[in-house]
Amino acid sequence: MTERLGIVISGSLDSGVEVRLDGAVSVEDMAVGRYVTIEGQKQRFFGMITDVSLGVTDPRLILTPPDVADPFIAEVFSGTSTYGTLHISPYLTIGGKADSLLEGPQTVKTVPSHFSAVNLATDPDIELVFGQEDQERFWIGNPMDMETKLCLDLEEFVTRSNGIFGKSGTGKTFLTRILLIGMLQKSKAVNLVFDMHSEYGWAGSSEGGQRKVKALKQLFPSQVAVFTLDEENSRRRGVSTDFVVRIGYDEIEPEDIGLLRQTLNLTEPAIEAGYQLRRKFGKNWLQQASEWSDSEEIGEQLKEMNIHESTFQNLRRGLNTIRRLPFTEPHAPTNAVQHVLEHLDRGTNVVLEFGRYRDITAYVLVANMLARRIYAQYQERMEKAMGEEAARPTPLVITIEEAHRFLNPSVASQTIFGTIAREMRKYNVTLLVIDQRPSGIDEEVMSQMGTKITCLLDNERDIDSVLAGVSSKSGLKAVLARLAPKQQALIFGHAVPMPVPFEPREYGSAQSYKDFITTNRAQRREQAEKDIEDLWER
């Protein structure tokens, strides 16, 4: 049953419409972020409350307020001399008076007429706009103050790079786990997760960190492989890993060092010296530069390559920092990139846990190295597929934390992650970036993010960065500023028809695990039945 709120009294397409509340409706029951429908003369509009305010018919009431201690006096003034107003941003039209749909919800191109009735949106309205959970759509949570399920088309979600933002402690990790599970179940993409804090592989921390919750491998053991840089740490946590990653000095290239320039305190000439050493000594350049002991020989070689002694020593200090990382060695026994690709090709999602090696040097080095080489393989396969009509590689989503380290303005144009974000799945690879400082990410990269999910942000620059280029920015800013400190988020962009503030679905209880697993089994059974039908039809 619809609940009438009031009528439209003014507005515009650009700034939204003003609604005067009926006298029987309490302004205190209204909240920013709630959904409404507006019954226009020819169309039905779907929008969101972005502001709540108070009004009076006579300005003198503000200067000399009446005595409302008497309930009768208060009731007389309420709704007549005083009233509440809502500011509403209409986003979609969802049909006409006869409830006929125009090929689904359409982007709003006009405004409702004066005195159009405004109602609270119902569960069927939400389902009409965002769809119901099915083989493509995944339940990610519930709209504010509603019980209906908010569903996201994950197949559409993975067609572009996306971002999850929010200050520390707002629930970004839980949101990421839910989305990774959704992609695992509902999309054709596989995931490569660079798991800095070991939260997505075998087990993660609950809100507040008091207990452990199951992560992807425990819920979907046959569809997830856990790789590790720290075998000892994994063994101590009782995690059964599928592969131990080792990085050989001979695998590291100057391009892998360039991203670490600020972290290792390297100068630009030192980075250039790395390229010169690579040309002269080939794959063993790093070991050769680090182990040079003959000062006379060093001087002659540097003079020949036109490298200043101080520049070389600056580079050498940085290379020695890398060599001290416990997972690096002269020659790796196995090729980590090949093992990752073999799992991805089989449709197995890969989570690389860093264990104790949470130093940003280790994270940036390994994530950049593996991503560059895997992307090169995908590029080669896609070009071959386009030229020879061969099978395309499985779509890949690469998840990175501390994204501003890879995508800040000074390095975004040089890193593989900046390239992937700008190319928008040209080679079947996209990003899922997680960060608490979106203002640190390059503006061009942020503009290429298809869908953004943001928890509470309290820094003005971060808020402006996330909402850059969004229509009705001021209204969304008000919604974002009023999110709860935990377990509330705003999603907007390519994969949703309109912005949605929501509460993520529960994660961490036995029932939540059962819901995730049951959904996955039902989907696989339905797919198997469809495959059998297709086989018989042939």
Whether 535 has a pLDDT exceeding 60, the answer reads no
Residue 206 in this model has a pLDDT that exceeds 80: no
What mean pLDDT do residues 474-491 have? 88
Q: Taking residues 365-371, what's their average pLDDT?
A: 93
What does the alpha-carbon distance between residue 128 and residue 91 come to, in Å, rounded to a whole number?
Answer: 14
User: Quick check: pTM over 0.85?
Assistant: yes
DSSP category for residue 78: B
What digits encode the pLDDT tens for the residues 20-49?
999 888 888 998 989 999 999 989 999 999
Residue 381 burial (CB count, 10 A): 19
Residue 186 pLDDT: 87
DSSP codes, 271-335: HHHHHHHHHHHGGGHHHHHHH---HHHHHHHHHHHT--HHHHHHHHHHHHHHHTSTTEESS-SS-
**Beta bridge mates, 491:** 453, 500
Q: Output the furthest CA–CA distance in the chain (Å, rounded).
A: 100
Report the alpha-carbon distance of residue 441 to residue 186 in Å, rounded: 29
* Eight-state DSSP code of residue 52: E
Give CA–CA dist 92/46, Å, rounded. Answer: 5
Mean pLDDT, rounded, for 158-176 = 92
Asked if 505 contacts 142 with a C-beta cutoff of 8 angstroms, the reply is yes
Please give the Cα distance from 308 to 313 (Å, whole number): 9
Q: Is the pLDDT of residue 6 over 70?
A: yes
pLDDT surpassing 70 at residue 209:
no
Q: How confident is the model at residue 97 (pLDDT cuts 50, 70, 90)?
A: very low
Phi–psi pair at 70, nearest 5 degrees: -80, 120
Q: Write out the two tokens for 405.
A: 């380290």
284-333 residue pLDDT tens: 888 888 887 766 777 787 888 888 888 988 999 999 999 999 999 999 99
Considering only residues 389 and 259, tell me which one the structure prediction assigns the higher pLDDT.
259
For 508-521, the pLDDT digits (tens) are 888 988 988 876 66
pLDDT mean over 406-428: 85
Round to whole Å and give the CA distance between 87 and 152: 27
Mean pLDDT in residue range 101-106: 68
Q: 436 burial class (0-12, 13-18, 19+ CB within 10 angstroms)? A: buried
Domain boundaries, the chain: 3-121, 156-246+334-503, 250-323
- Asked if pLDDT for residue 503 goes beyond 70, the answer is yes
Which of the four pLDDT bands, split at 50, 70 and 90, describes residue 523? low
Give per-residue pLDDT as tens, 49-90.
999 999 888 787 777 777 666 676 666 666 567 889 999 999
Q: What does the pLDDT read at residue 225?
A: 95
User: What pLDDT, on a 0 to 100 scale, did the predictor assign at position 211?
Assistant: 77
> Which pairing describes strands 16-21 and 82-93: parallel, antiparallel, or unpaired?
antiparallel
Angle, to 10 degrees, between the axis of helix 360-388 and the axis of helix 416-423? 40
**Residue 444, class by beta-carbon neighbours within 10 Å (0-12 exposed, 13-18 middle, 19+ buried)?**
middle
Instruction: Among 201-210, 304-313, 485-494, 497-506, name the one with the lowest average pLDDT.
Output: 201-210
Task: State the pLDDT confidence band at 99, using cuts at 50, 70 and 90.
Answer: very low
CATH fold of 156-246+334-503 = Rossmann fold (3.40.50)
Residue with tokens 């039902």: 522
Bridging pattern class, strands 396-400 and 190-195: parallel
